Structure 1
Amino acid sequence: MSRGAAAALSAALLLLALAGCSSAENNMAKTDQDSQKDQAAVRVDEQPGTVYYEIFVRSFYDSNGDGIGDLNGVTEKLSYLKELGIGGIWLMPVNPSPSYHGYDVTDYYGINKDYGTLDDLNKLTEAAHKLGIKVIMDLVVNHTSKEHPWFKEAIGNPDSKYRNWYRIEAADAQVPADGAVGGNPWHPYGSVKYLADFWEGMPDLNFDEPAVRSEIIKIGKYWLQQGVDGFRLDAAKHIYGDFASTINTDEVKASNRKWWQEFRSGIAGAKKDAFLIGEVWDSSVIIAPYLDNALDSAFNFDLAKKLLSGADREQNPDIAFSLGRIYDMYSKASNGKFVDAPFLTNHDQNRTMSELDGNVDHAKMAASLLLTLPGNPFIYYGEEIGMAGMKPDEAIREPMPWYASGTGTGQTTWEALLYNTTPKTVSVEAQQTDPDSLLSHYKKLIAWRNELPALRDGGIAELSTGNPAVAAYVRAANQEQVLVVHNLSAAEQTVDLTESGKASGIAFSEIARASKDGAKLDGGKLKLPAFSTVILQ
């Protein structure tokens, strides 16, 4: 499952595997060339990947007509997700909570009544598994809601067994006040104050308390026994990272890593292969230690910026080179066991289409980049139809538009629309049968990924074309190697692959997939229509 081995394919070996010969030399060189390909393939340590889909249940699909999305609604739309090509779904918080978003939990063993029941979740996981779709759920354990019974008892009773489950200090205690996410993280309550880094309504749990750690492991095991396949771990680096002055110190990083290792070990009895992906919103250097027998993945925030910038500026974001270096680091930290998690935007960020100023061609190219990279790509619900949205948060979590009329069975209505007010163009129904729609493009690229082992499971190595509008990289798996070439610009581009970068020739002799008509390979010269992607074998 190592990415490092794939990333560490030597440039020389890859280029030899790519190198072609003149017609007079073809027969003589073919045996050596095949041998070199085999050598390269042997060095590829595959990592099976799938495409995940992030769902805000409240906004997705309403099964009972109350205007609020629910778990049965997700179950009803599994066929849509399967048709899209999705292999896994991430459910944003489904536990009881006083907020619309659910990131302040009041009962870790319950289901938000707006969303249904535990039985509904069980039906969803069973139905998803029958379709080959995994289900992971948000696990928010850095903090609870201030309405959680634990906190209510802890803050109201100094003798409560829960008192030490939170960080509660005397009102005049001298403590660091530089919150890791900005502002003073301490909030007054009578003669005391409590730590709540993100918001006063989300008091932080104290993981120095053994009972807290034991309880969180118990919670993790409980949900795995209910049938979920793993967890998206909210605020994973803030378990011990409360203050700006200490969050990236060796001590805090080590404490965070140790806790997630303990969690991983603790839940193993419930599901040995549980998928753990953390929100570690930081650089690859900070992320790497979390992959040491703790998390399988952490979202690649730095890469997301590169993908969006490349699509927006119509210039090669040079992702293969940077990923190679990152994967080397991750492989060393994880002993070869990690899965990258590329994405474009998520529920905490302005939506992709808004970041790209509504340009559908740019959105298609961002999707093409994302869906031809290693790991488990994550798609935020509605991204595939071009939903727009800019902060505040409610506006980036608007109801999913299913119908061209804007209304219909299952359409959620809990929030008034601010951005997605044109269902005649931005809705599933409007795009479902349009072969040129953004939705059709997503389906196409995901299908390529599911069909080609190198795109789904392979490593990555850069290939320079010398053209700033063209991004190219090799994806290599045991069964095959493919060359991915993107024309990010509005103009047709021709790339001379025989002269590109360090390679003197090209072994890839045919176009296996093309996102647009008009792509042509002739004598090592590849013609690419505007805003198009080509896969060569």
Structure 2
Amino acid sequence: MIKQFLALGLIAGLFLTSCSKKEDTSETTTELAEGSFKPFTADEAETAVIYEVNVRQFSPEGTFAAVTKEIPNIKKLGVKILWLMPVHPIGVEKRKEGLGSYYSISDYRGVNPEFGTAEDLKQLIETAHANGIYVVLDWVANHTAWDHPWMKSNPDFYEKDEKGNFISPFDWTDVVSLEYNNPALRKAMIADMKYWLDEFKIDGFRCDMAHMVPTDFWAEAKKELANGREIFMLGETEEPELLKNGVFDSAYGWELHHIMNDIANAKKDVSAIDVYMDSIQHKWEKDDYKMLFTSNHDENSWAGTEFERMGDAVETFAALTYALPSVPLIYNGQEEDFNRRLKFFVKDSIDRNPNAKMRGVYEKLGDLKNNNEAFNGAKNAGSYERIKTSDDKSILAFKRKKNSSEAYFVGNFTKETKEVTLPITGEFVNFMTKDAITLDATKKVSLKPWQYYILVQK
């Protein structure tokens, strides 16, 4: 690509992203050398991208085998952690419409026949490992289906109201709440989790509604499950208590997610991000980190696609989730420019788009995350330093640095072109386009609506 040097005070040219066509991987897989796959450690999370798989909706087949076939393309996105939504059999009693909710589990050690066999799942995990990708299972510890065997064999495992009736959490009528004051339940739950680590060689868990289960249970479980090995534990929570003493590795970035939605709709400005970033040091321990996202299975189905919620700002906010200290998430279909709310309880697969713009964007961002130390985002993340501009309500600028690597993010988070000054002088490369950029702190920079730059060292 021809490099374009900019006159002092001017950034010229349009922001470009490349679109890459997917290769047919039906007959091939990209594999590591035999024996080179390393067990998960905390260091691996520094450069990780998480990919959430909704097996039912991931392909027309809706099977483990279809996911396995796609793993080489998932790897190209820089993915290091594959999160599988619940793979267990779904309860029939009081089932939601159609095929039911993945989160209504009737057998913690079973495999949903809708997706394939246990051997199919093992093949998926083995293929992911062969491609350097860790696999975590979605674990639903707060409740089970009404026809889980425990309902008959161990009714004392469940919560009851003052009249002795079983309880459904919220309005989730297809499930019944578990009683964690019962030590026998805790023992049984941990044994079922351990089964997947030992028999299927998974690398950890994404724990559903983690804050609704007692923290001391998770502490007990983590100690027994780890037992000399490191596992990745992602909690669906924003409760700092659950990350203390290494119980969970990472929490959800719901707060920032909602701020991004509000900025996209002009309900808030960049100062809301500043308040959020300043609050982290007061709420969280130094080695706590978040999973950041522009979509996930809940957001897509119930709140709308990222395109519905963020419009023209989708790419800018996706880039932000990679640029901030974090582990970023891709929900299946986001790399395909998929713009439809997936139905939750029935078959409704995503559409594949060989010319998708966001695939190229995510591949580049994955490269950045995997290989630029300044963007390490876990327990030993690169530092974050807010850079003041002449318009801090519209422009977010910050510096990331770790050891000898440093980089800048500069973005216009409005629907209007902005002319601003930045206290940055030097020559850089815009990582996303590979264009050379010269900045002078005394000169103004023009940024189009939602335009952003990731400036790395030449």
Given the alignment of the two structures, is residue 429 of structure 1 paired with residue 354 of structure 2, yes or no? Answer: yes
366-375 or 515-524, which moves further after superposition? Answer: 515-524
TM-score of the aligned structures, taking structure 2 as reference length: 0.79
Distance 1:264 1:358 in 2: 36
Distance 1:47 1:275 in 2: 9
Alpha carbons 2:299, 2:305 under 8 Å: kept: no
Tell me the residue number matched to 1:78.
71
Distance 1:377 1:279 in 2: 14
Measured after TM superposition, the shift of residue 358 of structure 1 is 7.5
Tell me the residue number matched to 2:211.
237
Given the alignment of the two structures, is residue 288 of structure 1 paired with residue 240 of structure 2, yes or no? Answer: yes
In the TM superposition, what whole-angstrom CA distance separates every residue of 1:383-413 from its partner, at most 9, and x where no partner exists?
2333234587459x841212xxxxxxxxxxx
Q: Which amino acid aligns with 2:167?
A: L
Change (3 A) 1:102 1:47: closer
Match of 1:215 among 162, 171, 188: 188
Q: SS of 1:348's equivalent?
A: helix
Measured after TM superposition, the shift of residue 354 of structure 1 is 3.8
Tell me the residue number matched to 1:113.
113
Given the alignment of the two structures, is residue 323 of structure 1 paired with residue 277 of structure 2, yes or no? Answer: yes
Tell me the residue number matched to 1:193.
165
- Map 1:378-417 onto structure 2 (within 5 A): 378-390=329-341, 393-394=344-345, 398-402=348-352
Distance 2:130 2:156 in 1: 44
State which structure, 1 or 2, has the greater radius of gyration over its C-alpha atoms. Answer: 1
Change (3 A) 1:337 1:272: farther
Alpha carbons 2:135, 2:202 under 8 Å: kept: yes
Match of 2:89 among 96, 99, 120: 96
Match of 1:347 among 297, 300, 305: 297
Alpha carbons 1:60, 1:74 under 8 Å: kept: yes
Q: Which amino acid aligns with 1:59?
A: Q
Measured after TM superposition, the shift of residue 377 of structure 1 is 1.0
- Map 1:466-505 onto structure 2 (within 5 A): 466-467=390-391, 468-498=393-423
Tell me the residue number matched to 2:122.
122
Change (3 A) 1:227 1:479: farther
Identity %: 29
Match of 1:512 among 429, 437, 452: 429
Aligned-pair RMSD on alpha carbons? 2.7
Change (3 A) 1:200 1:359: closer
Tell me the residue number matched to 2:389.
465
Distance 1:210 1:337 in 2: 31
Measured after TM superposition, the shift of residue 123 of structure 1 is 1.4
Tell me the residue number matched to 2:235.
278
Measured after TM superposition, the shift of residue 515 of structure 1 is 3.9
In the TM superposition, what whole-angstrom CA distance separates every residue of 1:478-529 from its partner, at most 9, and x where no partner exists?
232221111234554443223xxxxxxx3x5222225468884342244444
Measured after TM superposition, the shift of residue 341 of structure 1 is 1.1
Question: Where does the alignment leave 5 or more consecutive residues of structure 1 unmatched?
Answer: 1-44, 62-66, 155-161, 175-191, 240-255, 403-427, 432-436, 499-505
Alpha carbons 2:264, 2:309 under 8 Å: kept: no
RCO higher in 1 or 2 (8 Å CA, sep ≥ 6)?
2
In the TM superposition, what whole-angstrom CA distance separates every residue of 1:261-310 from its partner, at most 9, and x where no partner exists?
111111112x6211111112x5xxxx111111311111111111112223
Distance 2:221 2:349 in 1: 34
Tell me the residue number matched to 1:424.
none
Change (3 A) 1:232 1:462: same
Given the alignment of the two structures, is residue 453 of structure 1 paired with residue 335 of structure 2, yes or no? Answer: no
Measured after TM superposition, the shift of residue 135 of structure 1 is 0.8
Q: SS of 2:367's equivalent?
A: helix
Given the alignment of the two structures, is residue 441 of structure 1 paired with residue 361 of structure 2, yes or no? Answer: yes
Match of 2:177 among 193, 198, 204: 204
Q: SS of 1:357's equivalent?
A: helix
515-524 or 136-145, which moves further after superposition? Answer: 515-524
Distance 2:64 2:230 in 1: 24
